[in-house]
Each structure stands twice: as structure tokens, then as C-alpha cells.
Amino acid sequence: MGLFTGLLTLPLAPVRGVVWLGEQVQRQAEHDHGTAKSVSQRLAEIEAAWEAGEISDEYRVELETEAVDDLLADDADDDEDW
């Protein structure tokens, strides 16, 4: 952006800031939604495998615990970014 353009669009700086903030919120919301969706999908697959008799009760609990731990670890990593 040139000097002349920068001076002419200076009154729009708050608008650009709000747009940037909106983009950041959207990016974070999409990330959170994708993470939760993938974990719920994993849990559904585990449940289906258990119902089909492909995995034992103990292994089911282990896989579910890992999936939930992954979700909580991802949330903790996101909290550190703020």
C-alpha cells in the first residue's frame, strides 16, 4: 500500500481491524468444530466396532479414553495460544 493510498484509507483502519478480528474468530471456530467432529467420528467408529464384536470392552474403553484425551490435549494447546 502506497503512502497516498494509506493516507486516504486511514479512516477505514477500524473497519479493517474488525474484519481481521472476524477472520480470526472464524478460523478458530472452524478449527474447534473440525477437532470435535473428528473425535466424535472416532467415538462412533469405536462404538460400531464394539457393537459388531470386533473389539473387546477393555479395548473399547482404552480407545475412547485416548480419543477424549486427544480432544482435551488439543483444547489445552489452544488455550496456550491465547
Which class for 64: exposed (0-12), middle (13-18), buried (19 or more C-beta within 10 A)?
middle
**25-74 confidence digits (pLDDT tens):** 988 888 777 777 788 888 999 999 999 999 999 999 999 999 888 888 87
Domain definitions of the chain by residue range: 40-82
What residues contact 63, with CB distance under 8 A and at least 6 apart?
Answer: 42, 46, 55
Per the model's pLDDT, the better-predicted residue between 34 and 80 turns out to be 34
Collapse the DSSP code of 64 into the 3-class scheme (helix H, G, I; strand E, B; otherwise coil) and give the result. helix
